[in-house]
Amino acid sequence: MTSPNPRPKTMTLSPVWLIARRELAGLFASRAAWWTGAAYLFLTGLLFNAMALGPGARPSSVVLESFFTLASGLTLLAVPLLSFRLIAEERQTGSWVLLETAPVTPRQILWGKFLSVQGFHGLLLGLTAYLPALVFLHGRVAPGHLLAGYLGLGLLAAALTGVSLAASALGRGLLTAGVFAALGAGGWLVLWLAAPVSAPPLNTALAHLALYQQHFPPFARGQVWLKDLWFYGAGAVLGVEWAAVVLRQQREKR
Amino acid sequence: MTPFAQHKRFSLGGGTPLLLAGALALWVGGRMMPPGLPAEGLLWVGLGLIGLGALLPWVQVREVSLPWLGYPWAGLLLGLGAALWMTSRFVEADALSWGALFCLIIGLPWKRTEGDADNGRAGLGLGLSLAAAMAGYLVLAQLPWGADLAHRPDTSPSPETQAALEQLTEPVEAVGFFSPVSQQGSQAMAYLDQAGAVSPRLKVRRVDAVALPQEAQRLAGGPLANGVVVVAARGSHQRLWIGEGDQAQSALSRMDLDFRGALEKVSRPRGELGFTSGHGEWPLRRGSPRQPGEPDLSQERSLVGLEMLAQHWNLSLQELEPGELNALPQKNPALLVILDPTARFTPGEQQALDRYLAQGGRVLLALSPVTPPRPGGMSATDSRPGTAQPLAGWLAGMGLVYSPAPLAHSRLFAQQTFQAADHGRLVTVNFPPHPAMTLLRGDPNRFPVVAQASGSFHWKAAGSSDHPAAHIQGLLSAMPGTWAETAGADWTQDPRFEPAGDFWLAATLAFHRKEINPRGFNPVEQRKNTPSGETFGGRLVAVGDPHIIAGALLENEGNRALFTQVMNWLLEGTPYGRPLPRPIPSGDVPVIHRQDQDWLWFYLPVFLAPLAWLALGRWWNRGEG
């Protein structure tokens, strides 16, 4: 069966940017983005005070590590919430037809949406930068530690966006997409729980496959390992590509 | 209409559910079945299900399709199976299940329409990409390619380490066991050579553990591999694991701290906190089993926290037998601890304590309040019934009077049992000007000290003390508005008999050597002088509630800080006077925020930043309602 609309075979950048800009503009035109940002900042500030700074005089590097760990918890919550609706909501409101009939490939649509979430999450992270900056000014931390922490948060968000986009593509409605996103991100996160009850060497494999335990803490401590860069990068790419294949299959079926 | 749509009802999974059930049965059977259940049988059932699941698609050739997730799901399973299969290295039953899954999925017959074939290829491609990604990860996980951006390698001793080196009084050996070509060994030795240049008492050498194994035997008492630094003195030694591969980066980045800690441990004598016994004191170790009806105080009176804190001064806990009090000068503990005695000390024992103090001894004494007769029979669980407190008389002889009536406050207390007795669990940030309290006075609200039930101290009138030389100071005061339950512990204030006042929860006594020497005691030589030349005599800290400085309440930050400051003050001028360095990464400093900086640390991030963001949003969407 041939497709009714011939689409460009190669992925050019400009449609990706156009879609990303459209998504971001849509986000900032809604109240949700501003309230989400305010809640993110409020919770980050509160957790920074209550848990990262703590009651005593803690070493700067420990405060910074705690900050990145807490921020990763918020990322784990915020990114699937921002991402799961990206396709499912378009379907629900009927605007998906417009995108689908536009001269762009599913892959371009997905990467555009992926970039929009990364951009918004990056902006939120940027807004929290004054908290580690306070530690930087009142304590003593290596700038590389800041860089590593934010790099880890960005990569974690990328991997979560990938799996949430796939969930959004799989779900027929917002509810199913939300459930798939929760199952996907949550299941990936808690995979490490299966490791202790498995036998070697499968337990090692499961521990390595889990989203967080082996991969994010080094970033929070200021350590950047190539294997973790690869893990999150591959997770993001495979998630988006999976979503692209799902969208393509769904289109062929019609 | 595709065959998938026509036979949807019958093609749900095309054997996939059976396959997954089989894989799950294998996994559960092999790993999670409790002992005694037929795990082996479940393994075979799992294999059977997998076989059936693999067969079914071929029977239903035209109808087969995976459920609503489509071929991408098959592709992902394929990739996951392949990745796990590779990781499992072909050896386990788990690997068998995943291998079967892998074989099954690539054997699935793709439907023969053009679109489905494309989808099949896409799914397969995705699965293989996942497998490739995992294989790539597997390779990278074996490689030490990474960087620690938080710390820089310590290339020279920090000022703190240099100070520790300059204070060495005995020879210390620092031997690096590294192979001759080890680059990390060269970095570690460069650091040690700089340390050796600071103090002539530090002898630094590099040894190849393979070529000279006897050197490791001599220093560390056993064989050592290369990649270790041994710091040895006074017959004891500490090992620093550096390593010789790229993993050594992390150890090198904290070498200054580790080396300083090792140096302090081997160069400083180990001391003891001597706990008196035989007078009803808190037991150092868990004693005989609890009798029926007897309250379980093991957690409340646990000395684990105190023991851990004492390690900062290289001190261990040691129980003194009752008869050993007379041998105090010979036992010579770094600090004598008398923790909540309930039985009287004999006059001989009190004289022994006098002598110990006179010779420059240091004593930490914790007393408990005594419950006065009270109306209504209301239980006050944390103070002891009775009328007198052992050692109160001895203490009064030195000018410090202990009032055993428990203190209470109507508003400032720690709510724990929601009973009236909670009014006796005082919380205070009232720190008098005392040399030991500088840290707590600097930021009092950060260090609230909690008591479980405390009596109080006051200064005996001048001229009535047996030891006029004793210098008495309040160390910790109750908050204003506190009263003593002198008219019966009903935990409500009777203003006629129980006026609010300024009560000391802890106090200190200090003796000066010149004022003690005329009594004819010989000073202990090692306590005579400090490096600065200042002389110190005996010191005593008396606390009105043992829970303030020991037991479960030591988990409270304020109590811990108080204990630390008390220890520093008590041990000042002794060889144990300086605490060992805390495990703060080298080059790091603690972040301290004071109350007057709350607008910066609290109000700005919690309120101002979110509000500013919302205001920006309002401005951004202005004119849109």
**pLDDT of res. A156:** 97
* C-alpha–C-alpha distance, residues A166 and A247, integer Å: 9
Q: Do B230 and B198 share a domain, yes or no?
A: yes
Alpha helices by DSSP H, listed for B288-346, are: 304-310, 328-331
Phi and psi for B450 in degrees, rounded to 5?
-115, 135
Q: Do B260 and B277 share a domain, yes or no?
A: no
Contacts of B360 (CB under 8 A, 6+ apart): B513, B516, B523, B524, B527, B528, B536, B537, B538
**pLDDT of res. B311:** 79
Confidence of residue B525 (pLDDT cuts 50, 70, 90): very low
Contact (CB<8Å) B590/A139: yes
Q: Among A71-85, A164-178, B108-122, B203-217, which is the least confidently predicted range? A: B108-122
Distance from CA of B476 to the nearest CA of A (A): 20
**pLDDT of res. B63:** 36
Structure tokens given for B247: 């993993």
Q: Do B208 and B319 share a domain, yes or no?
A: no
A248 within 8 A of A106, measured Cβ to Cβ: yes
Cα–chain center distance at B12: 55
Residue B604 CA: distances (Å) to CA of A146, B514, B592, B608: 20, 56, 17, 5
| Residues within 8 A of B (CB atoms), A 186-225 only | 197-202, 204-205, 208-209, 218, 221-225
Q: Do B520 and B383 share a domain, yes or no?
A: yes
CATH of the domain at B234: 3.40.30.10
Tally A–B CB contacts below 8 A: 220
Give the mean model confidence (pLDDT) for residues B410-425.
82
Q: Among A172-176, B108-112, B216-220, which is the least confidently predicted range? A: B108-112
Residues of chain A in contact with residue B605, where contact means CB-CB under 8 angstroms, are 41, 44-46, 48-49, 130-131
Structure tokens given for A181: 């996103």
* C-alpha–C-alpha distance, residues B584 and B586, integer Å: 6
Contact (CB<8Å) B150/A144: yes
Contact (CB<8Å) A34/B70: no
**pLDDT of res. B467:** 54
**What is the 8-class DSSP label of residue B572?**
T
Distance from CA of A221 to the nearest CA of B (A): 7
Provide ipTM, 2 decimals.
0.84
Closest to A201 (Cβ–Cβ): which among B88, B113, B614?
B88
Q: Do B386 and B468 share a domain, yes or no?
A: yes
Residues of chain B in contact with residue A249, where contact means CB-CB under 8 angstroms, are 70-72, 119, 122
The DSSP code sequence of B204-263 is EEEE-TTT-HHHHHHHHSS---SSEEEEEETTEEEEEE--SSTTHHHHHHTHHHHHHHHH
Query: A251 or A43: whose pLDDT is higher?
Result: A43
Domain boundary among B548, B570, B592: B570
Q: Do B8 and B78 share a domain, yes or no?
A: yes
* Residue A48 contacts B where some CB pair is shorter than 8 Å: yes
**pLDDT of res. B615:** 92
Domain boundary among B88, B106, B141: B141
Percent helix, strand and coil across chain A, each to the nearest 5: 80, 0, 20
Substitution target from A51, A130, A225 for chain B, most B beta carbons within 10 A:
A225
**pLDDT of res. A5:** 52
B408 within 8 A of B491, measured Cβ to Cβ: yes
Residue B148 in domain = no
Query: A65 or B25: whose pLDDT is higher?
Result: A65
- The beta strand positions in A120-159, using DSSP E, are none
B593 within 8 A of A53, measured Cβ to Cβ: yes
CA max distance for chain A = 68
Q: Give the burial class of B505: count Cβ atoms within 10 A of its Cβ; 0-12 exposed, 13-18 middle, 19 or more buried.
A: buried
**What is the 8-class DSSP label of residue B458?**
E
Contact (CB<8Å) A222/B149: yes
Q: Mean of the per-residue pLDDT values for chain B?
A: 73
Give the mean model confidence (pLDDT) for residues B318-324.
83
Contact (CB<8Å) A60/B590: yes
Residues of chain B in contact with residue A2, where contact means CB-CB under 8 angstroms, are 114
* C-alpha–C-alpha distance, residues B608 and B619, integer Å: 16
Residue B276 Rama label (left phi>0; alpha psi -120 to 50; beta): beta
Q: Shortest CA distance to B123 belongs to which of A188, A243, A112, A167?
A: A243
Give the mean model confidence (pLDDT) for residues A134-150.
85
Q: Quick one: CA torsion of B210, B214, B219, B222, rounded to 10 degrees?
A: 80
Residue B125 in domain = yes
**pLDDT of res. A228:** 93
**pLDDT of res. B316:** 85
Residues of chain A in contact with residue B613, where contact means CB-CB under 8 angstroms, are 34, 37-38, 41, 127
Within a 10 A sphere around the Cβ of B411, how many other Cβ atoms?
Answer: 8
Q: Do B189 and B258 share a domain, yes or no?
A: yes
Distance from CA of B524 to the nearest CA of A (A): 37
| Residues within 8 A of B (CB atoms), A 95-114 only | none
Q: Do B369 and B449 share a domain, yes or no?
A: yes
Residue B237 in domain = yes
Q: Helices A202-209 and B70-88, interaxial angle, to 10°?
A: 130
**pLDDT of res. B302:** 81
Give the mean model confidence (pLDDT) for residues A195-217.
79
Residue B91 in domain = yes
Query: B501 or A231: whose pLDDT is higher?
Result: A231
* C-alpha–C-alpha distance, residues A52 and A69, integer Å: 9
| Residues within 8 A of B (CB atoms), A 137-166 only | 138-142, 144-145, 147-148
Residues of chain B in contact with residue A138, where contact means CB-CB under 8 angstroms, are 591-593
Contact (CB<8Å) B149/A197: no
* Residue A135 contacts B where some CB pair is shorter than 8 Å: yes
Closest to B589 (Cβ–Cβ): which among A34, A134, A140?
A140
Q: Shortest CA distance to B417 belongs to which of B443, B393, B452?
A: B452
Residues of chain A in contact with residue B75, where contact means CB-CB under 8 angstroms, are 242, 245
pLDDT at B49 over 80: no
* C-alpha–C-alpha distance, residues A210 and B75, integer Å: 19
pLDDT at B351 over 80: yes
Give how many domains chain B has, as a whole number.
Answer: 3
Residue B153 in domain = no
pLDDT at B526 over 50: no
Confidence of residue B378 (pLDDT cuts 50, 70, 90): very low
Q: What is the CA radius of gyration of chain B?
A: 36
Range of the domain at B341: 271-286+296-570
Structure tokens given for B538: 């005996």
B85 within 8 A of A198, measured Cβ to Cβ: no
Residue B233 Rama label (left phi>0; alpha psi -120 to 50; beta): beta
Q: Helices A13-29 and A31-47, interaxial angle, to 10°?
A: 80
B460 within 8 A of B399, measured Cβ to Cβ: yes
Q: Do B432 and B524 share a domain, yes or no?
A: yes
Contact (CB<8Å) A199/B617: no
Contact (CB<8Å) A230/B75: no
Confidence of residue B385 (pLDDT cuts 50, 70, 90): very low
**pLDDT of res. B215:** 83
Residue B578 in domain = no
Query: B139 or B560: whose pLDDT is higher?
Result: B560
Residue B612 in domain = no
Closest to A142 (Cβ–Cβ): which among B88, B150, B600?
B150
Q: Quick one: CA torsion of B156, B157, B159, B164, rounded to 10 degrees?
A: -170
Distance from CA of B539 to the nearest CA of A (A): 28
**pLDDT of res. B203:** 93
Residue B577 in domain = no
**pLDDT of res. B210:** 86
Contact (CB<8Å) B69/A28: no
**pLDDT of res. B91:** 42
Residues of chain A in contact with residue B71, where contact means CB-CB under 8 angstroms, are 245, 249
pLDDT at A102 over 90: no
Residues of chain A in contact with residue B616, where contact means CB-CB under 8 angstroms, are 34
Closest to B557 (Cβ–Cβ): which among A55, A135, A245?
A55
pLDDT at B578 over 90: no
Q: Do B487 and B460 share a domain, yes or no?
A: yes
Q: Do B82 and B202 share a domain, yes or no?
A: no
Residue B625 CA: distances (Å) to CA of A28, A31, A52, B60, B522: 14, 11, 39, 60, 89
Phi and psi for B300 in degrees, rounded to 5?
-60, -35
List, for residues A155-178, the tens digit of each pLDDT value. Answer: 999 999 999 999 998 887 888 899
Residues of chain A in contact with residue B29, where contact means CB-CB under 8 angstroms, are none
Query: B601 or A10: whose pLDDT is higher?
Result: B601
Contact (CB<8Å) A141/B616: no
CA-based end-to-end distance of chain A: 11
Smallest CA–CA distance from A251 into chain B, residue: B115
Domain boundary among B553, B570, B587: B570
Contact (CB<8Å) B149/A205: no
Q: What is the CA radius of gyration of chain A?
A: 19
Q: Do B207 and B258 share a domain, yes or no?
A: yes
Contact (CB<8Å) B133/A253: no
pLDDT at B232 over 60: yes
